[in-house]
Chain A
Amino acid sequence: MTGADFEAEFEDGRFGRLAVVRLKPDQDLVEGIEAAAMEAGIAYGVVRAAVGSLVDAALGYGEAEDASIVTVEGPGIEILTLAGELRPDENGQARALLQGTISDADAKVYGGTFLRGANPICITLELVLQEWVPEAS
């Protein structure tokens, strides 16, 4: 035990339905996944697998006044890993928080949080999204 003062928040639940998704070129990665989830009736969800590419990429790192953005110019940026979840906002709209890694044409790898409205799909995004069903408290 560390004795540190912190809170732990658990949410009981189970996995639900799947959505099999393709985003076509020029859709924003974050907004496109949110729209796909809503179309599938999924407000709470988890990315189970995703493979694709971006025209350009913008990833966030750091926090508060030290928060920064790395931008990478493509086209042909490969999305190497994508992880994250969707949760509904106060209006019930699915909002995605997505982290991952990408590589550029020089095979340099970058990581961070995919920024909304700044990660246009290049050729495709193939996605398997799974619903998360929280238990009613």
Chain B
Amino acid sequence: MRQLKHPGAGTEPRRIVQPREAGGSLRLKLSEGADLLTGLTEALVRRGITDAGLQLLAGAFSEMQYLTGQPDESGQRLATYGAPTTLPGPVRLVGGNGILGRDAAGKPLLHCHAVVVDREGRVHGGHLPPNVCKLGPAGVTALVTVIDGAGFQVSYDAETNYDIFQPTGEQAA
């Protein structure tokens, strides 16, 4: 297994594991016109949910963008995102996963990766940014695994030189 050097020193432990009670499961459907990330986030926060794991079950976009990773030539990080790829609709969702947590300031933040198929039948996939993935007539359906208490919150990770989600040590939100 190839191991590459990150800009910062690694810290122990190499995995962070926080046991939590399950907060139940929900099926969530958003309608056409919503933006995928901001729509899912807003809907869940309105329901009082700020910490969850999401499986995207079905959906379609009228237009969307995604990002893929690549080596970071600047040396500041091991990998970075390339320029966004824009797909005109209709684009169908094949599958995806999301983590809803909180940013460094405590505001809700959804991190989402997905696979899609474009109108020519080509398969694409990557990191989906907020405000650029507009849902088409089929909307989107997600299965939400609610975390009872705090799940992930963004903090600076010196090893990778990224602000990333870390499991929080809090037992309750």
A85 beta carbon closer than 8 Å to chain B: no
- Is the beta-carbon distance between B160 and A25 smaller than 8 angstroms? yes
Q: Dominant SS at the A interface?
A: strand
Select from chain B the residue with minimum beta-carbon distance to A82.
B97
Provide the residues of chain A in CB contact with B38, threshold 8 Å: none
Q: Which of B15, B80, B160 counts the most chain A CB atoms within 10 A? A: B15
CB of B125 within 8 A of chain A? yes
Question: Given contacts A20-B20, A20-B152, A123-B79, is CB(A78)–CB(B14) below 8 Å?
Answer: no
B72 to chain A, nearest CB (A): 8
Which size class do A's interface residues fall under?
Answer: 35 or more
Contacting residue for A117 out of B1, B70, B164, CB 8 A: B1
Q: Are B14 and A27 in contact (CB under 8 A)?
A: yes
The majority secondary structure among interface residues of chain B is: strand
| Residue among B1, B54, B98, B111 facing the most chain A CB atoms (10 A cut-off) | B1
Question: Residues of A contacting B125 with CB < 8 Å?
Answer: 78, 80, 101-103, 107, 109
B31: CB under 8 A from chain A? no
Residues in chain A near residue B148, CB distance under 8 A = 18
With the chains together, A8 CA to B167 CA distance in Å?
38
Q: Is the CB of B53 within 8 A of A75?
A: no
Task: Check A21 for interface membership: any CB of B closer than 8 A.
Answer: yes
Cα of A76 to Cα of B77 in the assembled complex, Å: 10
Which of these binds chain A: B42-50, B112-120, B129-137? B112-120
B119-157 near A? 1/0 per residue, CB < 8 Å: 000011111000000000000000001011001100001
Q: Does A19 contact B (CB under 8 A)?
A: yes
Q: Are B3 and A55 in contact (CB under 8 A)?
A: yes
Q: Which residues of chain B have C-beta atoms less than 8 A from A24's C-beta?
A: 10-11, 14-16, 159
Query: Of residues 105 to 137 in A, which have CB atoms within 8 Å of B's CB atoms?
Result: 105-107, 109, 117-120, 122-124, 126, 128, 130
When A and B form their complex, which 4 residue pairs have the shortest distance between CB atoms, in order from nearest? A76-B69, A49-B53, A76-B79, A128-B53
Q: List 5 A-B contacts (CB under 8 A).
A: A15-B22, A24-B10, A74-B71, A78-B126, A107-B66
